[in-house]
Structure 1
Amino acid sequence: MTPTFPFREVVLGALIPAFIFSTGIGALLPILAPYSVERGATLATAGVVAAMLPVGQILADLPAGQLAAKIGDRRAMLAAGSVAALGFLSAALAPSVITLAIAVLLVGACNAVFHLARHSYLTAVTPVGNRATVLSTLGGVHRIGQFVGPFLGAGVIHFSAMGAVFYLAAATALAATVTVWLARTPRPEQPQGAVSSATQEITKPRFWKVLGDHRAMLATLGSVGMLVGAIRGARQQVIPLWGEYIGLDPTTISLLFGLAGGIDMLLFYPAGRVMDRWGRLWVGVPAMTMLGISMALFPLTSTGAGLAGVAMLLGFANGWGSGIMMTISSDVSPAEARPQFLGAWRLLTDIGLGAGPLILAAGAAAGSLAAGVWAAAAVGPLAAAGMQRWLPRYSHHANRTTRRRAGVAD
């Protein structure tokens, strides 16, 4: 019986590197804006520098898929980790705010390549019966890394200076790269009658053909991914924004944010097991519905205790959806053009992640943060309805009924 988490292929080849790399990114996130101000940037400029990380990721999503298709998933991870280390070092040594922003943009691009390549790699090496468990665990270790990172960064700052966090991040990028290299998984054997690798390279679909062949799926199910990204992006900002709105101090807000994150991290494994056993809809639809409900409750709170209860529900909802979009995109991705397809898919979800906080900001700018929160909350049920509508059309693993129809039931 094949283990769910083969050590060399899955744990050493992807999960440990994902944790290490995410720890470095997590350490970087809280200090980007303050470090920019320390280097002479205004608050507005510091916000732009911090935004270079997600901007770099969005810009690199499509090229990341092409790169992984051309050189392979593991080589793409090795390249991304090595260049990310250079980006972190460049940020630490940046002589101006402009060069700092360019270095952060480079790190964001490397983050996109590393994320996509390990996602594509795990899809290829994991049996479909364990896919959701493995990918939800990947999402879980990513969350744990980003949770641990700020604490490591705080320790570095306490004993050194803020700029030293970039050296910590560079060390984690190099450590993740070395771990991927140590895995050195053998190339999977070609099935009987398979064409040669040279012929495969010649006949590999071009990127724009991949988009054209799957445009209907990307326009429908891909739009669901964008909605999921949007409510998750809003989720990251709603606790600090509403906490500030009701007058909580920064320490309390940070504790509530950590409380939600802690609950979030507890659920990735059971969520993956449910997806593998019962189908993806059993996790995706409840998670998006609960995210919408919990978001809608924020404007009804006015105390720290009330906000804590809603934050815990928010963490539970997001944790229950751990790995759902990675699993769905793996299920529907074409084997012959998986990296290119996943690059297009990640672009849609990353655009959603960027748009989510803008919904909250639009409400606040219009004079009602509560209206912005409720508008973002409405995205959750929309995502759940879209998933219920479109996933059974494109995936055999939507639920047990679709599996039986396809002849792949347990």
Structure 2
Amino acid sequence: MVYAPTVLFALGEGAVIPLIPVLATKLGADVPMAALVASALVIGQLFGNIPAGALVAKIGERLTMVLAGIASLVAGVGMLLAPTLVLFAAAIFLLGFCAAAFGLARHAFMTTRVPPRFRARSLALLGGSFRLGVFVGPFVAAGLIRLTGSELSSIWFLLVCAGVIVPLVLFGPDPEKSNPVLLKPTGAAVAEDSGEVVTGSIPTVDQRGVFRTMWAYRAVLARLGISAATLSAVRSARQVILPLWGVSLGLNAETIALVVGVAGAIDFALFYASGQVMDRFGRIWAAMPAMLLMGLGFIALSFTHDLDEATMWFAMLAAVLGVGNGLSSGILLTFGADLAPEREPATFLGSWRTLTDAGGAAAPLLVAAITGLASLSLATGVMGAVALIGAAGFVRWTRRYLPPSGD
């Protein structure tokens, strides 16, 4: 009940994500507008974090996930039947909203119930559950397109996954009742857990409110949080740039889905290694290499569009970006859990995820703007520079705000 719903949701989402720009172009969008439509997914996640935190605090994780599953069914039907680009983008936005609810519910659960000594591995596994969907989903999409001849078949697959999630979560074992809460020492925002077992529901009562919590923890959010936001931005840009790059090269939807799927396979294969590195050597030793690889990968890709072997470079550098993203599996979840205070983890995590998702939401908009004003190659190079700046931020601030054992 901790990981299976995440896998199912990610499978459906992973099948749809590579084809969003393709489906948008079929509704009349050009390349910059397709990038803007694709950004609706991360914008939905951004706006979904605060309501999701309120839902988790009020009704618990399981019912939050049930409502998110039902809403994702509505989003899938909207994508399937949308007659205009605006309605299609609205359905994508709703799907992102549902992803925020799933993500925050799982994050809050793991923050309060996993001991620090293997927290990074547990959260890397949670990230790996999502990566499994991103890995398998595009291959499922490619197979369905070949079988049916329609890109809409990937949306039907999303509906099937969401339809399975709702009864699974609603009638399966309730993890809230089977796992006790582990509380940190009172008042310690970044201290280790005491290991004291406290029965009852997750302590997600909103004592300050999201904006007051943001102000109380403004120092860490403005420094380490901004660095985390750049990582989220680079990840989000990767999801948009790779399909757009394939479209700009004239590749068909099946080929694009396969390239993205291979990159996802590499990404998925490295998720547990990321958790091992963070738990054994410190958080920075996963964050910095990941950001450097993605930054250099984007910069290299930006120079290959007009080369004779552009398709080969596209596939190869997509794999490099997959390695970088795989090394970052669970990093944002782990940083958030390390920094979350005892009494109001949901409001802090809502603030943390809002900030990181803001980076994710801004990246596709930036890519769309630069592509419209200049070129997709320049947009790709700019995102590479953002990754390198983020790597410097992690090096500067990680040791200051995390305890030595968490590096």
**TM-based fold match above 0.5:** yes
Matches within 5 A, 1:131-142: 131-142=119-130
The CA distance in 1 between the partners of 2:178 and 2:208, in whole Å, is 21
Structure 1 Cα separation of the partners of residues 243 and 37 of structure 2? 20
CA distance in 2, matches of 1:196, 1:126: 14
Q: Which amino acid aligns with 1:234?
A: A
What is the Cα deviation at residue 386 of structure 1? 0.9
Matched ranges for 1:78-93 at <5 A: 78-92=66-80
Q: Which residue in the other structure is 2:397 paired with?
A: 390
CA contact (8 A) 2:263 2:319 kept: yes
Which has the larger displacement, 357-366 or 76-85?
357-366
Please give the alpha-carbon distance, in whole angstroms, between the structure 1 residues aligned to 2:395 and 2:117: 21
CA deviations over 1:35-57 (Å, ceiling 9, x no partner): 5676xx43267766554333322
CA shift in 2, pair 1:384/1:52, >3 Å: closer
Change (3 A) 1:334 1:108: same
Cα drift, residue 149 of structure 1: 2.3
* Distance verdict in 2 for CA 1:35–1:112, change over 3 Å: same
Unaligned runs of 5+ residues in structure 2 are 184-195
1:62 and 2:50 are equivalent in the alignment = yes
Match status 1:183 vs 2:176? no
Query: Take 1:136 and 1:149, find their aligned partners in 2: how far apart are those partners?
Result: 19
Indicate the SS of the match to 1:257: helix
2:112 aligned with 1:124: yes
TM-score (norm 2): 0.81
Displacement of 1:278: 1.1
Aligned match of 1:235: 238
Question: Partner residue of 2:387?
Answer: 380
Distance in structure 2 (CA, Å) of the matches to 1:175 and 1:261: 23
3-state SS, counterpart of residue 3 of structure 2: helix
State the match for 1:260 in structure 2: 263
Alignment of 1:212-251 (within 5 A): 212-242=215-245, 247=249, 249-250=251-252
Counterpart check, 1:169 vs 2:163? no
Q: Highest CA radius of gyration, 1 or 2?
A: 1
Maintained 8 Å contact 2:7/2:130: yes
Equivalences for residues 327-406 of structure 1 within 5 A: 327-396=334-403, 402-403=404-405
- More relative contact order in 1 or in 2 (CA 8 Å, sep 6+)? 2
Q: Could you say if the C-alpha distance between residues 362 and 36 of structure 1 is closer, same or farther in structure 2, counting changes exceeding 3 Å?
A: closer
Tell me the percent identity: 35
Cα contact 1:61–1:113 (8 A) shared by 2: yes
- What amino acid does structure 2 have at the position aligned with 1:121? F
Does the C-alpha gap of structure 1 residues 370 and 164 become closer, same or farther in structure 2, counting only changes over 3 Å? Answer: closer
Answer yes or no: is the 8 Å Cα contact 1:91–1:104 preserved in 2. Answer: yes
Is the contact between residue 261 and residue 315 of structure 1 (CA under 8 Å) also seen in structure 2? yes
Match of 2:298 in 1: 295
Q: Contact conserved, 1:363 with 1:370, CA < 8 A, in 2?
A: no
2:282 to 279, 282, 297: 279
CA distance in 2, matches of 1:317, 1:179: 33
- Aligned residue identity for 2:165: A
Distance 1:70 1:105, change over 3 A: same
2:134 counterpart residue number: 146
- When residues 169 and 248 of structure 1 are mapped into structure 2, their CA distance, relative to the original with a 3 A threshold, is closer
The answer as to whether partners of 2:18 and 2:260 remain within 8 angstroms in 1 is: no
The residue aligned with 1:317 is 324
| CA drift at 1:222 | 1.2
Secondary structure (helix, strand or coil) at the match of 1:335 reads coil
- Structure-1 residue corresponding to 2:193: none
Alpha-carbon distance between aligned partners in 1 of 2:168 and 2:128, rounded to the nearest angstrom: 19
Where does residue 112 of structure 1 map in the other structure? 100
Residue identity opposite 2:113 in structure 1: V
Show the 5 A alignment for 1:10-21.
13-21=1-9
**Range with bigger deviation, 154-163 or 313-322:** 154-163
Distance 1:178 1:355 in 2: 35
The one-letter code matched in structure 2 to 1:54 is V
Normalised to the residue count of structure 1, the TM-score between the two structures is: 0.81
Q: Which moved more, 1:374-383 or 1:319-328?
A: 374-383
Q: Distance in 2 between matches of 1:226 and 1:326?
A: 12
Q: Secondary structure at the match of 2:343?
A: helix
| CA RMSD across the alignment | 3.3
CA distance in 1, matches of 2:256, 2:24: 23
Aligned CA distance change for structure 1 residues 34 and 315 (closer, same or farther; 3 Å): closer
Retained in 1: the 8 A contact 2:278–2:285?
yes
Specify the SS of the correspondent of 1:70. Answer: helix
In 2, the alpha carbon distance for the partners of 1:159 and 1:89 equals 18
Task: Give the 3-state SS of the residue equivalent to 1:43 in structure 2.
Answer: coil
Task: Flag the 1:375–1:97 CA change in 2: closer, same or farther, 3 A.
Answer: closer
Q: Residues 65, 368 of structure 1: CA spacing in aligned structure 2 closer, same or farther, 3 A cutoff?
A: same
Q: Aligned runs of 1:182-201 on 2, under 5 Å?
A: 182-185=172-175, 186=177, 188-189=179-180
Paired with 2:238 and 2:49, the residues of 1 have a C-alpha distance of 22
8 Å CA contact 2:288, 2:395 repeated in 1: yes
Structure 1 residue 107, shift from structure 2 partner: 2.5
- The aligned amino acid for 2:169 is V
Matching residue of 2:187: none
